[in-house]
Amino acid sequence: MDNIIIIAVAALGGLGLVAAVVLYFIASKFKVIEDPKIDEVEEALPAANCGGCGSPGCRAFAEATVVSAKEKKSLDGLFCPVGGNDVMQIVGSILNLEVTTQAPLIAVIRCNGSHANTPAKVKYEGASSCAFAHALFAGEGGCQYSCLSEGDCVDACDFDAIHMNPETGLPVVNDKCTACGACVEACPRDIIELRKKGPKDRRIFVSCINQEKGGPAKKNCAVACIGCSKCEKECKFDAITITNFLAYIDFEKCTLCRKCVEVCPTNAIHEINFKPRKPRPEKAPGAVPRKPVPKVAQPDKPVTMETETETAVAEKVEKKESPDNGKA
Amino acid sequence: MGILKTFALGGVHPEENKLSANAAIETLPPPKQAIVPLGQNLGAPSKPLVKKGDKVKVGQLIAEAGGFISTNIHSPVSGTVLKIDNVIDGTGFKRPGVVINVEGDEWDEGIDRSDEIVSDISLNPQEIVDRIKQAGLVGMGGATFPTYVKLMPPPGKTAEYLIINGVECEPYLTSDHRLMLEKSQEVIIGTRLLMKALKVEKAIIGIENNKQDAINHLSQLTKSIDGITVMALKVKYPQGGEKQLIKAAVNREVPSGKLPIEVGCVVQNVGTAFSVYEAVQKNKPLFERVVSVTGKDIKKPSNFMARVGTPIQQLLDAAEGVPENTGKIIGGGPMMGKAITSPEVPVVKGTSGILLMKKEESSRKTTGPCIRCSRCSTVCPMGLEPYLLTKASKLGKYDIAEKEMIMDCIECGSCQFTCPASIPLLDFLRLGKGKVGHIMRNRNKK
């Protein structure tokens, strides 16, 4: 009985010993020498694996930074948009390199074709996917450049930074945006652009990508850029260029003077996070109210009312208690 | 008549609703203003040859082919070119087109406008193909593939059969049916011309069994002609698909990703055969076609011979207006057609029908969860698994979709038609097909 136990222990122990020796030599032969800095850099990264930097994940980005540091002695072209400058400083200190700070970016929606501004002419009932809707038709409002409101950008966002506003049918970007660019990729119409966040989060951009001539563009959408080039003339810094009846503001040159916003006849240029202007306080930041109706048009109103039946007019006048100065 | 032939895999039986089957073809007057889009065929759009202010005649070349897979476009009306600009198409997108203000109806001198039927074929095969190419013919079934490309088999391949597609399996549509009844002589001469161009001995005209009058009529006429047989086929959708028709008619299977010429077949639509006759024998380019205007509530379901560029509104007016509870206007049939965004869009070479659907039948049902009934796989005429492909395309797993042969999908819509949970299978199949096709083209470029 004892014999069997000894044989079994010896046989298994011997087998284990042989395997250990073999494994030891194999392990030392095929040892992968990896720069410990890769691990350190990876530790410093946000671990979002979003791909916003262009590498397929944080580990790959860490490898790329270490290789670049070794070969080029710089981190040019490598930037983690999610971590931003803080993380890049840490990465730089690990690799003993100077890191140039970059202005943080944010996604902006270059379409203001809300339900009110771009009234729907047709109804879409197909699959809830922008990519599919884009392949199928121009859009409910008729503008072939407009937002399709099916939310591919919302699905693409890993950071909970973009949401659909059910009232307008347009996506809204919040502070959580890391400028990873996933929504830019997802949008089949290239509506979303990454722009500089700007000082105090203030930025100005043309919220339209319609390249049609003014007339057809305006026909479908009240707030389309019509390419009138008023803003181009107004801008003293050559920041605005017009191509294909569409204005584009270069955010490198823009000084946020807001002059273009004032002259835009269709309110296509948006200003975000600015304090309300003193002479015209009705212009709330972000929101785009229609331009007030010109004063000349005012006397027309009662005239059109007179074409209706007299009782109806009387009722309306009573209800509104309007001073009916137009009739005089 | 023995057992009728059909294709083997899948297929569905939608309600036929051939409401306009007894309405003779009416010729519509030219519109007041013709809008001729420049991209009327599958492939590259055509290049305009006229400019603003030019006077054009009916049948005059106004745009030439913009590549190998592209076609000439001829003016459907006579008048003055108003502008060459972006015009709205059925999808609402703006694409380049020529707008012509119509003045009178003056035809190009070269066109033979007599009713006399020219049955002698004097041209040699190459000349026939050249005429067809010159006349800007495309497949009239709806896919609008340039006809002349199909008539030039790649080197090393020869055609054995010409199959004329008179199946018209789409519910509601009757334009091919009426052509076979009213223009039967022309269709048969067109078939003979195509046979000569392809140098084939055998032609089969495939017609579904629900068009008994057309079958009888064409059988009678082709009795004395060698090589042309009229084949009655069992009614099943999508028999009008090229691959399905080949399977049904000659029992051959086109390999995945290959063209019908691989199995020695060329398929042409009845409408194309008619246009071939007009182009070759009458020297009349393709600028008008038969369009069915139909729908359950429409007062006068009709078949119109309409010029290309006629606004759809004019056709609807001729059919005594749009009924009140119309939910959708569909360009094409109910299975494969697409809803159009505005009645102002023009008739193009590929418009086979205008279908007005009632509100209650056009709106989509609420989508339910998949109950794994596998009906979609059973009815798929290509033997695919639509649910799997839909899921793959929804999740962006285009590699799986490609492996599962999404590119073989013919977008017939049988899966979505049969789905008890009303899942938009076809929508996602089309999306996935577009994406996979894009990926494959990019890969081949490298």
- pLDDT, tens digit, 9 for 90 and up, residues B51-105: 999 999 999 999 999 888 899 999 999 999 999 988 888 888 888 999 999 998 8
B12: in domain = no
- Looking at residues A129-136, what average pLDDT do you find? 88
| Residue B64 placed within a domain | no
A residues 89-128 lying closer than 8 A (beta carbon) to B: 121-122, 125-127
pLDDT above 80 for B231: yes
At A226, phi and psi to the nearest 5?
-100, 5
- Cβ separation B431–A132 shorter than 8 A: yes
pLDDT digits (tens, 9 = 90+) for B159-183: 999 999 999 999 999 999 999 999 9
H or E element, residue A42: helix A36-44
Same structural domain for residues B235 and B383? Answer: no
| pLDDT score recorded for residue B143 | 82
Residue B254 shares a structural domain with residue B398: no
Mean pLDDT of B24-41: 92
Residue B309 in this model has a pLDDT that exceeds 90: yes
Task: List all residues of chain B from 366 to 395 with a beta carbon under 8 Å from chain A.
Answer: 394
Contacts of B414 (CB under 8 A, 6+ apart): B10, B11, B12, B237, B238, B335, B376, B379, B380, B381
What is the pLDDT at residue B243?
A: 93
**End position of a domain, from candidates B229, B263, B281:** B281
Find which of A124, A129, A148 to mutate to test the B interface (most B CBs within 10 Å of its CB): A129
Same domain as B271, residue B141? yes
Q: Do B91 and A136 count as a contact with CB atoms less than 8 A apart?
A: yes
| Per-residue pLDDT at A248 exceeds 90 | yes
**Is B40 within 8 Å of B145 (Cβ atoms)?**
no
Angle subtended by helix axes B175-182 and B212-222, to nearest 10:
40
Residues of B in contact with A129 (CB under 8 A): 394, 427-428, 431
Q: Which of A129, A137, A216 sits opposite B91 (nearest CB)?
A: A137
The answer to the question of residue B91 being in a domain is no
Question: Closest approach of chain A CAs to the CA of B285, in angstroms?
Answer: 30
Confidence class of residue A82 from pLDDT cuts 50, 70 and 90? confident
**Has residue A284 got a pLDDT over 70?**
no
| B347 part of a folded domain | no
CATH number of domain containing B229: 3.40.50.11540
With 90 as the cut, is the pLDDT of residue A276 above it? no
Q: Which residues of B touch A139 (CB under 8 A)?
A: 92
**Set of chain B residues whose Cβ sits within 8 Å of the Cβ of A136:** 91, 338
Tell me how close the Cα of A290 comes to any Cα of chain B, in angstroms: 26
Q: Do B92 and A142 touch (CB under 8 A)?
A: yes
* pLDDT tier, A300 (very low <50, low <70, confident <90, very high otherwise): very low
How are the residues of chain B apportioned to helix, strand and coil, as percentages rounded to the nearest 5?
Answer: 30, 20, 50
Cβ-nearest to A135 among B364, B424, B434: B434
Mean pLDDT of A28-43: 89
Verify that B277 and B379 share a domain, yes or no.
no
Q: Compare CB distances from A125 to B364, B430, B431 and report the shortest one's residue.
A: B364
For B424, which of A127, A212, A216 is closest by C-beta distance? A127
Would you say residue B417 lies in a domain? yes
Q: pLDDT band at residue A327, thresholds of 50, 70 and 90?
A: very low
Report d(CA B18, CA A5) in Å as an integer. 89
Smallest CA–CA separation between A95 and chain B, in Å?
Answer: 37
Categorize the per-residue pLDDT at B2 as very low, low, confident or very high, splitting at 50, 70 and 90: low
Q: Do A144 and B94 touch (CB under 8 A)?
A: yes
Angle of helix B425-445 relative to helix B386-394, nearest 10 degrees, comes to: 70
A211 and chain B in contact, CB less than 8 A? no
Taking residues B109-133, report their average pLDDT.
Answer: 89
Q: How confident is the model at residue A291 (pLDDT cuts 50, 70, 90)?
A: low
* pLDDT recorded at residue A302: 38
Hey, of B429, B431, B433, B435, which one would you mutate to test binding to chain A, going by the most A CBs within 10 A of its CB?
B431
Q: What is the ipTM of this complex?
A: 0.83
Contact call for B424 and A144, based on CB within 8 A: no
Q: If 0-12 CB within 10 Å is exposed, 13-18 middle and 19+ buried, where does residue B249 land?
A: buried
Q: Using an 8 Å Cβ cutoff, are A328 and A298 in contact?
A: no
Burial track B347-358 (b if 16+ CB lie within 10 A, e otherwise): bbbbbbbbbbbb
Average pLDDT in chain B: 91
- What lies within 8 Å, CB to CB, of B216 at 6+ separation is none
Among partner residues A125, A127, A136, which is closest to B428 by beta-carbon distance? A127
Classify residue B50: in a domain, yes or no.
no
Residues of chain A neighbouring B97 (CB-CB closer than 8 A): none
- Report all structural domains of chain A as residue ranges with CATH numbers, in order of start: 36-94 (1.10.15.40), 105-272 (3.30.70.20), 294-328 (no CATH)
Between residues B131 and A314, the one the model is more confident about: B131
- In 3D, which of B254, B257, B250, B256 has the Cα closest to residue B162? B250
Cβ of A126 within 8 Å of Cβ of B428? The answer is no
- Asked if B435 reaches chain A (Cβ–Cβ under 8 Å), the answer is yes
Q: Does A215 touch chain B (CB under 8 A)?
A: no
Which of A293-297, B112-116, B219-223 has the largest mean confidence?
A: B219-223
Nearest chain B CA: its distance from A155 CA (Å): 11
A223 band by pLDDT with thresholds 50, 70 and 90: very high
Residue B88 is predicted with a pLDDT of 86
The pair of structure tokens assigned to B424 is: 């938009």
- Per-residue pLDDT band for A280 (boundaries 50, 70, 90) equals low
- Judged by CB atoms closer than 8 Å, whether chains meet at A138 and B341 is answered as yes
pLDDT of residue B306 exceeding 90: yes
B247 and B379 belong to one structural domain:
no
Report whether A92 contacts A73 (CB < 8 A).
no
Encode pLDDT of A201-212 as tens digits: 888 999 999 998
pTM: 0.81
Region B14-42: mean pLDDT is 91
The pLDDT value given to residue A285: 52
- How much is the pLDDT for A279? 62
Cβ-based neighbours of B24, under 8 Å, separated by 6 or more: B178, B182, B303
Average pLDDT value for residue range A161-180: 91
User: Looking at the structure, do residues B242 and B133 belong to the same domain, yes or no?
Assistant: yes
Does residue B7 lie in a domain region?
Answer: no
Token representation of residue B372 = 């794994």
- Distance from C-alpha of B275 to C-alpha of B279, rounded to nearest angstrom: 6
Average the pLDDT over A272-280 and give the result. Answer: 76
Report DSSP letters for B279-335, one per residue. HHHS---S-EEEEEEEESS-SS-EEEEEETT-BHHHHHHHTT---TTEEEEEES-TT
Share of chain A above pLDDT 70, in %: 84
- Residue B414 domain boundaries: 375-445
For chains A and B, count residue pairs whose Cβ atoms are closer than 8 Å. Answer: 49
Confidence of residue A317 (pLDDT cuts 50, 70, 90): very low
pLDDT score of A101: 84
Distance from CA of B424 to the nearest CA of A (A): 6
Query: What is the distance in angstroms between the Cα of B350 and the nearest Cα belonging to chain A?
Result: 17
3 state SS of B205? strand
Given B225, B259, B281, the domain boundary residue is: B281
Query: How many helical (H) and strand (E) elements, i.e. helices and strands, does chain B have?
Result: 14, 17
The region of weakest confidence among A4-18, A114-128, B380-394 is A114-128
Name the residue among B92, B364, B424 with its Cβ closest to that of A138: B92
Answer with the one of B281, B308, B323 that is the final residue of a domain: B281
Q: Is residue B236 part of a domain?
A: yes
Tell whether B251 and B140 lie within a shared domain. yes
CA A142 to chain B, closest CA, distance in angstroms equals 6
Q: Average pLDDT, stretch B416-442?
A: 92
Give the pLDDT of residue A299. Answer: 39
Is residue B365 predicted with pLDDT exceeding 90? no
In the predicted model, is pLDDT for residue B245 greater than 70?
Answer: yes
Domain count for chain B, please give it.
2
Pick from A272-286, B74-88, B179-193: least confident: A272-286
